[in-house]
Amino acid sequence: MDSSSSKRVHRVAILMALVIAVLANPRTARADNAERITVLEENDSIYFNSDKHYTQGIRASNLGPAVPSASGWNAPFNWIADLAPIFQDGTGTERRYAIVLGQSIFTPKNLTLRPPDATDRPYGGWLYIGTSLLQERNLNTLENLELDLGVVGPGALGKQAQNDFHQFIGDAEARGWSHQIQNEPGIALSYERLWRLPLFHLGGIGSDVVPQIGATVGNVFTYGEIGAIFRVGHNLQADYGPVRIRPALSGTDYFDASHLERNLGYYWYVGAEGRAVGRNIFLDGNSFRQSPNVQKRILVADCVTGVTVFGGTAWRLDFSMARRTREFIGQNASDVLGTAALSIGF
């Protein structure tokens, strides 16, 4: 079996495993006092035979239940609210925490060159752990503040993750990892605000627009973002769109099944986001050391479409595809990314 056929077989196996996991968990409780585990896979070869640039991302998160109003866990929200005009408390406010663990991998297009093409995207990895503070207000506004800490470079284990997987599926190893971006502690602080604006509701089917604005600062990424998604489906009030790996048009980990009319929910969505990029370490190179780099483009945009299906607090499936404009000078074409995610409540 050739490498492209092996990749397709592996992608089908992943999708089958997701479906089996969902069917094995029949819980359909309405009350949303459960925790939710989400595992998200983002890859340029999920739907297409590609292996370049932002080539792999995996993200696991645990969304906790709503924080009781008298709980001491409100203290970080209140402390931040005293310092900045965010997380203002009041009637109709719900707060939650999420814990995040993720890894992202970046490579040039030609994986057989050693040393790699100096005009193409450098090899690099980003391994991180983070915490999100999420607050919904009046069932139509969501704020998310996330702090991610980790490491960029060989310590991010990008080489091991990619080449071990290639060995598993019988594909050739990437040969240029010895020329990757060097080790550097990484930090990224992100804030975003989303609004849920209903458009119509007819016969159980509704639609809405979810605009968002936000910014990320740190030595890994620094950018400002603005975007929106348009959704059509049933039970849209449970979330603000599916979660993605930053930088991307994101719906965050937030989910609240207590507002559902019935357990089953679904929607199709399409959206776009624009970013003004001040720093991208995977293009600019290390902050204080010599490392591979290319000239980044300041303005980058994503167009995304996908489908989401969920059954109350028990399970959720997300599938999406995004096209990202060229991120650096010399990049010949835009990139296409696929995402598949599974959430389980417990």
Question: Which residues have C-beta within 8 Å of that of residue 92, sequence separation ≥ 6?
Answer: 137, 138, 139
User: Long-range contacts: 191-194, Cβ < 8 Å, 24+?
Assistant: 191/86, 191/143, 191/144, 191/145, 191/146, 191/215, 192/143, 192/144, 192/225, 192/250, 192/252, 193/86, 193/141, 193/142, 193/143, 193/144, 194/141, 194/142, 194/143, 194/144, 194/240, 194/241, 194/251, 194/252
Q: Give every residue of the chain whose pLDDT is below 70, as ranges.
A: 1-32, 48-49
Question: Alpha-carbon Rg of the chain, whole angstroms?
Answer: 20
Question: Which residues have C-beta within 8 Å of that of residue 289, sequence separation ≥ 6?
Answer: 182, 184
How are beta strands 141-152 and 315-324 bridged, if at all? Answer: unpaired
**What DSSP string runs through 144-192?**
EEEEEEEEESGGG-HHHHHHHHHHHHTPPPPS-GGGSPPPEEEEEEEEE
Locate 53 and state its tokens: 């640039």
Residue 11 three-state SS: helix
Domains, the chain, in order of start with CATH, read: 3-345 (2.40.128.140)
Locate 9 and state its tokens: 């077989």
Backbone angles phi, psi at 120, to 5 degrees: -105, 170
Question: Which residues have C-beta within 8 Å of that of residue 102, sequence separation ≥ 6?
Answer: 57, 58, 59, 60, 126, 127, 128, 129, 130, 148, 245
Task: Give the span between the Cα atoms of 168 and 151, in whole angstroms.
Answer: 25
- What pLDDT was estimated at residue 3? 46
- What pLDDT was estimated at residue 22? 41
- What pLDDT was estimated at residue 29? 39
**Is the N-terminal amide bond of 292 cis, ω within 30° of 0?**
no
pTM here is: 0.88
Task: Give the span between the Cα atoms of 157 and 113, in whole angstroms.
Answer: 20
Look-up: residue for tokens 């284990």?
157
Locate 174 and state its tokens: 């990437």
